[in-house]
Amino acid sequence: MDTAFFVDWITRVAASVEANKVRLTELDAAIGDGDHGTNLDRGFASVIRVLDTAAPRTPGTVLSLTGTTLISKVGGAAGPLYGSAFRRAGNALSDAPDVDLAGLSGALDAALAAIRKLGAARDGDKTMVDALAPAVAALSDAAASDTPLLKALDATVAAAESGALATIPMQASKGRASYLGPRSIGHQDPGAASTVLILRALRDTARAAAASGDE
């Protein structure tokens, strides 16, 4: 997975966020500020402009620029959380020109660690961690067993989707949603939902690359 692959991934994320911004905002309106979709859409649109101008030379630089831009452009909790995650993932990749499955796994593990540290969130707190943590675990298991990339990413996405759905019956313990107490039960966490979109875009990028013979 080279620099072009990572640029395609982030481009797909931006397109998916734009297509799903109303849904993300509706999810957030139920238990938060009601701006998750619009904020992320604005942030990733800015990311695409930065990537077009900067012409990054490594996968790590793509992710680092993504993170830095999100921090500066996205309000609320999502900007710092996703921004820190992408920056930490970029740092984990360093200046490698190509990334294998083990490298990708390590980058996403670093992203999860950044979110845990900044948000002080644990599994079961009804946050994006509930989607990302099982996804990272699935990818780590796949990398350890030399699973083919597409199969590994299918498992990653499936774990994220299950984790996001599992937030519906949870009572929120972090963020604005926690103020609602029991009333937060019955709603999917918007951060978990957007995490699924990001990982689906990664899987779809790999599928497209395989179909074109680039991977």
pLDDT at 16: 97
Burial environment of residue 111 by CB neighbours within 10 A (0 to 12, 13 to 18, 19 or more)? buried
The CATH number that applies at residue 174 is 1.25.40.340
Burial environment of residue 178 by CB neighbours within 10 A (0 to 12, 13 to 18, 19 or more)? middle
Q: Hey, what are 97's tokens?
A: 């020109």
C-alpha separations of 52 from 14, 68, 214 in Å: 13, 15, 21
pLDDT at 214: 65
For the chain, the domain total comes to 1
Q: How far is Cα 42 from Cα 39, in angstroms, rounded to an integer? A: 5
Query: Which of 214, 147, 190, 153 lies closest to 8, judged by CA?
Result: 214
Inter-residue contact 48 to 89 (CB < 8 Å): no
pLDDT at 107: 97
Token pair 């080279």 is at which residue?
A: 2
pLDDT digits (tens, 9 = 90+) for 102-161: 999 999 999 999 999 998 888 988 999 999 999 999 999 999 999 999 999 999 999 999
3-state secondary structure 143-163: HHCCCCHHHHHHHHHHHHHHH
pLDDT at 215: 55
Q: How far is Cα 163 from Cα 159, in angstroms, rounded to an integer? A: 6
C-alpha separations of 50 from 44, 88, 96, 176 in Å: 10, 18, 21, 31
pLDDT at 119: 83
**Average pLDDT taken over every residue of the chain:** 93
pLDDT at 73: 87
Q: Which domain holds residue 105?
A: 3-212
